[in-house]
Amino acid sequence: MRPSSPRIRVLLAAAGWPSGILEVGSWAARSGLADVVIFQIGRGLAPASEPVAGGGPAPENASDRIAGLVEKLVEFQPHVVGFRVEGEPFEPIQDWIGAVRRFSNAEIVLGGPTATSHPAGVLEWSGVDYVFAGEAEETFTQFLSLARKHHSRDCLPEIPGIAYRYGGRTCFNTLPADGYGRSVVEAGGGRPEVPIGCLRSAVRPAVSADLLAANRLDWSLLEGFEQPLESLYFTAGRGCPGECSFCGQLHGARVRVKPASQLLEEIEAADRCVAEGRLHVTRWKLFAHVEDPRWQARDAAWAAVYDEDFFLDRSRAVEFFELWDNSPLKDRYRLSFQTNPRSLLAGGAPCPELFGWIDRAKPMVQLGAESFHPGLLARWRKRHDLEQLSAVLDALDATRQDYTVFQLLTDYESTAEELIEALRRLILAALARPRMRIASSPLAIPLYESDMRRELEFSGRLPGERIVDWRDYERPHPKWMDPVAAELADLADSHLDWAINPETRDAALIETMAAVVEHLERAGAGRFDALLAQARSAAAEIAEARFPFRR
């Protein structure tokens, strides 16, 4: 009888929370094909600040980024090393890849949102061996299984969504259903002859709801998680029916959710890791802005559920709240959920059952409002309208706790007049609702495989000299915009940054429009008279709303 082949050693590494990596690693370990370790990179920490934004801590310098990784490479001697790529900065990823090349013979794989959006570009830029696009639980396990075969590289075309090199060429297996497979970079500056109406997102690997439920996260895989995390993160579902023009819809439109009991079990398991010292979390007075004094003194950590929209499955959300209400976890964590205003409505009005639970559990609801300007909501194809947004905000404010509203100030079509009106509407809406935190972004970016990016490309506004490589799709480009709108958006956002904190919010709101007025006044008489008159009128209306007793 032949002895069984030794299992493949897989090292998956992250600087903060192992988002996605934990799911992929757990499924690979469950398959029996691999010994998996999920490792935290980096020892130096940047100082923690206001806890609302969340996110993992960043290492301070290159030596901190690789010291622990090198030790683990030498000790574990992995056959495969994997990292997640999600936006800038890209330098840490390059440091990690360099360390693996110097101290290991492992094959290197990349995944994550950026890898999903630009698989071929990321492969060529990084010099890694393989890039996985889409949801990789099944495809990575297929990759490990094929690795045991002779001439396994010849089998790579069988794996959906993988980018690799073969015969001196870069290959990517999965293409969009409509045949649109090239950006202006890949097309050499030309425009593929595909009708704009046909441009949809790529067909990427996506796992089933059954697999999501079957893939129980294996927390025993975690090693070296010594850095305090600003939040624990959990995926309760994937997919969104929305068609927002700026969104890459990385998980597609098909909504797949985990059972409520499974989500609670995952939070319980992470909490046990915290109790055992295998995970470390930072605790703050996260309920300080809840009106009920019984909550305010409580130290808590974030338990963030970062689905595209947690409340798409209303019955599952209610069931989870019922389980949470009977769990001791509620005394140690504050929940956080992302959602669209429309998902909180029933029959056109705020859902009494959902808002009853929001009032009782006091989660941080992060609302994808995006704008209070009806023109922008229509252009971005948001699922909600202003009337629905206002109804939901009033209901949230009535729960007597803080909540967060996401705002995107401009896109590549924005004019200065439109921006001033958007700011006026935002500020007035916020002043009327004192518990609203504002998380703003000044400039749109052509995110991933979004329709916004496609419209820019196919209207001829992304010629080759503008797009040098795929990284140009990952950063803002104010030079592509109306220069006055771009300048004012950046100025306004520098003040709105303070509107995330309740203590500084109102002053920031007032100062935002005042700064716009001052900037236009300094530009010189006669240059922006109409804009200045519009901004002064908005500032007066805002002052009246803030101090109505001055009449």
Report the CATH number that the domain containing residue 20 is assigned in CATH.
3.40.50.2300
Which pLDDT value is given to residue 549? 46
Which pLDDT value is given to residue 5? 63
pLDDT tens digits, 397-440: 999 999 999 999 999 999 999 999 999 999 999 999 999 999 99
Between β-strands 162-166 and 130-132, what pairing exists: parallel, antiparallel or unpaired?
A: antiparallel
Do residues 379 and 322 share a domain? yes
Residue 254 lies in a domain: no
Do residues 49 and 173 share a domain? yes
Do residues 58 and 191 share a domain? yes
Residue 544 lies in a domain: no
Would you state the structure tokens that stand for residue 308, as one six-digit string?
């595209």
First to last CA, the chain: 94
Do residues 155 and 282 share a domain? no
Do residues 57 and 182 share a domain? yes
Non-local CB neighbours of 207 within 8 Å, separated by 6+ positions = 135, 137, 138, 215, 238, 256
Do residues 54 and 172 share a domain? yes
Last residue of a domain, one of 377, 408, 439: 408
Long-range contacts of 168-172 (CB under 8 A, 24+ apart): 170/120, 170/123, 170/124, 172/119, 172/120, 172/123, 172/133
| Structural domains of the chain, count | 2
Residue 224 lies in a domain: no
pTM of the model: 0.88
Which pLDDT value is given to residue 367? 96
Residue 424 lies in a domain: no
Per-residue pLDDT of the chain (551 residues), as tens digits, is 344 567 899 999 998 899 999 999 999 999 999 999 999 997 443 333 334 433 444 445 556 668 889 999 999 999 999 999 988 888 889 999 999 999 999 999 999 999 988 888 899 999 999 999 999 999 999 999 999 888 888 888 889 889 999 888 888 886 543 344 455 445 454 444 443 333 343 467 889 989 988 999 999 999 999 999 999 999 999 988 888 888 887 888 888 999 999 999 999 999 999 999 999 999 999 999 999 999 999 999 999 998 889 999 999 999 999 999 999 999 999 999 999 999 999 999 999 999 999 999 999 999 999 999 999 999 999 999 999 999 999 999 999 999 999 999 999 999 999 999 999 999 999 999 999 999 999 998 877 778 888 888 777 787 767 888 888 888 888 888 999 999 999 999 999 999 999 999 999 999 999 999 999 999 876 779 999 999 999 999 999 987 654 44
Phi, psi at 231, each rounded to 5°: -160, 150
Last residue of a domain, one of 392, 408, 424: 408
Do residues 298 and 381 share a domain? yes
User: Alpha helix (H) ranges present in 329-432?
Assistant: 352-361, 374-379, 386-397, 416-431
Last residue of a domain, one of 378, 408, 438: 408
Which pLDDT value is given to residue 79? 97
Helix (H, G, I), strand (E, B) or coil at 372: coil
Residue 380 lies in a domain: yes
Between β-strands 162-166 and 169-172, what pairing exists: parallel, antiparallel or unpaired?
A: antiparallel
The 8-class DSSP code of residue 147 comes to T
Q: Alpha-carbon distance 225 to 227, whole Å?
A: 6
Residue 136 lies in a domain: yes
Domain extent for 301: 260-408
The 8-class DSSP code of residue 441 comes to E
Which pLDDT value is given to residue 45? 36
Q: Alpha-carbon distance 513 to 523, whole Å?
A: 16
Do residues 94 and 179 share a domain? yes
Do residues 208 and 276 share a domain? no
CB of 366 closer than 8 Å to CB of 404? yes
Q: Alpha-carbon distance 163 to 28, whole Å?
A: 19
Do residues 89 and 183 share a domain? yes
Do residues 204 and 272 share a domain? no
Residue 518 lies in a domain: no
Residue 393 lies in a domain: yes
